[in-house]
């Protein structure tokens, strides 16, 4: 048996036992213990990257802001504007919807898409009752109350679409046929609150210059065109094609050229300081997705899904 060694004890029942001196490694551990305990008690918010591991820190580093994790979903209003945004069996679909969802997921944010008429949706964003508007053009008036992103969701030409029976008009690309329709006796269908780019916006703003007929949505304008109630519908080629296919499958659109403008559509957030930072983070992440090719892949998959829906 190995003998046990005891420290010497002084005589007397209340005499104190001398203390052993701690070793150097033990002393270092004792000195570091308060710091280790403080680290272990830090809040769990730092683990937000567990749900968005590949981008929340990238976005924060790009803008110098701190990543903020919240379980409250961003409420974003969208238009019925295929192929960019639309509902299929009650679910939001479309290329712009998929891009925005992917960006916000990388930023650790959930999103809820709400379909409303344009004027109502923009008013709700302005009042702070909705958090953002998806795919809106930049105008001086809207810049007064929206935090726009600077990286566009997509870019398109603004054209006029006439009735599918007016095929002969498509052969004139000089602008003569286009302007004859625009300034003719029959009204042009416009959706309430829409911007159609700086050129057409300026023309529509001139009282008495041309005749217009207002509708709540682009689809209503296309329906009026097919009933021969209006002469033309302005818009972008992908959207006009998709709406015509939805209403009158098999019809071939007649689009008049040259285009009036080439415009970009952006994400636009409600006017808060937090949303200003979120818009900057959105830009940083979307820019990386464009550069990596992920953006193009999302658009290609959204196009495949749209064609699958149209085939049903």
Q: Give the pLDDT of the chain (312 residues) as one tens digit per residue.
A: 433 333 333 333 333 344 445 454 544 545 555 544 444 444 433 322 223 333 333 333 334 443 444 568 999 999 999 999 999 999 999 999 999 999 999 999 999 999 998 999 999 999 999 999 999 999 999 999 999 999 999 999 999 999 999 999 999 999 999 999 999 999 999 999 999 999 999 999 999 999 999 999 999 999 999 999 999 999 999 999 999 999 999 999 999 999 999 999 999 999 899 999 999 999 999 999 999 999 999 999 999 999 998 875
CA atoms within 13 A on the CB side of 27: 5
- Counting every residue written for the chain, the total comes to 312
Residue 88, CB half-sphere, CA atoms under 13 Å: how many?
A: 17
The whole-number pLDDT of residue 312 equals: 59
CA dihedral 194, 198, 204, 208 (to 10 degrees): 160
* Pairwise CA distance, residues 293 & 159, whole Å: 28
* pTM listed for this prediction: 0.76
Distance of CA 221 to CAs 132, 218, 227, 231, 236, Å? Answer: 25, 5, 10, 10, 13
Q: Nearest to residue 149, comparing CAs of 89, 82, 59? A: 59
Opening angle at CA 58, ends 56 and 64, nearest 5: 100
Q: Report the pLDDT value the prediction gives residue 310, as an integer from 0 to 100.
A: 85
Give the orientation angle of helix 56-63 with respect to helix 273-292, to 10 degrees.
Answer: 110
Q: Is the separation of the CB atoms in 78 and 135 below 8 Å?
A: yes
Which residues, in sequence order, are bridge partners of residue 52?
A: none
Q: What is the DSSP string of 91-115?
A: EEESHHHHHHHHHHHHTT--EEEEE
Q: What are phi and psi of 185, to 5 degrees?
A: -80, -20
Q: What is the DSSP string of 212-245?
A: EEEESSHHHHHHHHHTTSSSBEEEEHHHHHHHHH
Give the separation between CA 54 and CA 191, rounded to whole angstroms: 40
How many other β-carbons are positioned within 10 Å of the β-carbon of residue 271? 14
pLDDT at 72: 87
Distance separating alpha carbons of residues 286 and 289, to the nearest angstrom: 5
DSSP string, 177-223: HHHHHHTSSSPEEEETT---HHHHHHHHHSTTTS-EEEESSHHHHHH
Q: Residue 32 has what pLDDT?
A: 52
């Amino acid at each position: 048996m190995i003998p046990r060694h005891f420290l010497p004890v002084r005589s007397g029942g209340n005499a104190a036992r001398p203390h052993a001196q701690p070793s150097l490694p033990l002393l270092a551990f004792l000195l570091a213990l308060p710091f280790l305990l403080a680290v272990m008690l830090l809040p769990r918010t730092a683990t937000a990257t567990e749900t968005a591991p590949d981008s929340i820190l990238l976005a924060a580093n790009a803008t110098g802001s701190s990543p903020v994790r919240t379980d409250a979903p961003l409420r974003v209003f969208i238009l019925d504007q295929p192929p960019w945004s639309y509902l299929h069996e009650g679910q939001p679909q479309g290329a712009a919807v998929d891009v925005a969802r992917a960006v916000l997921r990388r930023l650790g944010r959930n999103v809820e898409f709400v379909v409303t008429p344009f004027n109502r949706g923009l008013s709700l964003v302005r009042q702070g009752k909705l958090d953002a508007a998806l795919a809106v053009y930049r105008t001086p008036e809207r810049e007064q109350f929206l935090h726009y992103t600077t990286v566009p969701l997509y870019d398109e030409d603004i054209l006029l679409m006439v009735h599918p029976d007016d095929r002969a008009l498509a052969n004139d690309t000089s602008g003569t046929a286009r302007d004859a329709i625009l300034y003719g006796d029959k009204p042009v269908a416009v959706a309430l609150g829409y911007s159609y780019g700086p050129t057409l916006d300026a023309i529509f703003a001139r009282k008495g210059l041309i005749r217009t007929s207002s509708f709540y949505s682009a689809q209503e304008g296309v329906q009026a065109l097919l009933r021969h109630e209006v002469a033309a519908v302005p818009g972008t080629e992908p959207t006009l094609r998709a709406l015509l296919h939805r209403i009158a499958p098999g019809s071939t659109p007649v689009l008049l050229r040259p285009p009036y403008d080439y415009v970009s559509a952006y994400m636009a957030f409600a006017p808060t300081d937090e949303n200003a930072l979120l818009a900057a983070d959105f830009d940083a992440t979307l820019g990386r997705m464009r550069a990596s090719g992920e953006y193009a892949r999302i658009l290609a998959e959204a196009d495949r899904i749209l064609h699958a829906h149209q085939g049903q």
